[in-house]
Structure formats: structure tokens, C-alpha cells
Amino acid sequence: MTTRIGLVGCVSEKHNRPVPARDLYRSALFLGRRRYVEESCDDWFILSAKHGLVRQDEVLEPYDQALTGAGRAIKRAWATRVIEQLMEVLGPFDGTTFEVHAGADYFGFGLEDGLIERGGQVEVPTHGLRVGEQLQFYARRSPTAGHE
């Protein structure tokens, strides 16, 4: 049996107080990603530039850190850390499909390759789409789309 795990990239727009991670990020892009993985995946986690892998119910303080603009070595070290965290939480990746909803800075520097090398499959539903196109993608697939 295949398990689907959603990996959702963090965004800069956040609440100004500690809240569960699923509620910390406030942008339309994050909210669209969250709704999507809540319907399409068995479980999901947040890819945080500061914390690495974050459980959705983990309470986080607001922070200001991004992988965008970071050097390749920093992004690769971050990806290695996330893979290690995923292995601790999930065990072997055989039979696991990772659905990644994040920018290339989050999956393009070793994360995708590392998941595949360890037996996982990777899907990136919005690969190649610009932010505006991603917003449209998630809006069309929102649980409330067409129900207004």
C-alpha cells in the first residue's frame, strides 16, 4: 500500500504570535497548498527554512528566514537535514509517495534526489508553474471552488 505524504513549503507571511505550524503561515499560496494536501495526502508536513521538517501541530514562534538567496551548500545541508528528519518520523521510504508543494529552493538541492534514492517516489503537482499560476492551480482545486 502506498502512503502519500505532503511536503508544503513555508512562506514569509506569518502570524505575529506562536501558533500551530499549520496556522502560522498566512499567504494565499500556503493556504492553497495546505487545502490541497489535506485532501490528497495521508499526512503532511511543513518544510521550514529555519526548522527543517515541521509537524503541522507543532507550535512555532514567528521567524524570518528563507532558503531563497541562500548558497547552494546551505540548501544542500538543509535538504540533508530534512531527509534525516523524515527518516526518523517515517522510517523506510519504500511505498511512500512524497507530494511536494514548494519552490525549487526547497526541493531542487538534494531533497528530491534524496527521497528517490531512499526508495520514495516524488510528485510535484505545480512543477514549472509561476506563483500566479500556482495560485490558480490551487484555487481550481480548492474544496470550496465552485461552491460560492
pTM, rounded to two decimals: 0.91
Cβ-contact 46, 54 below 8 angstroms: yes
The Cα–Cα gap between 82 and 54 comes to: 9
User: What pLDDT, in 10s, does the model give residues 48-105?
Assistant: 999 999 999 999 999 999 888 899 999 999 999 999 999 999 999 999 999 999 988 8
Return the percent helix, strand and coil in the chain, to nearest 5: 40, 20, 40
3-state SS, residue 15: coil
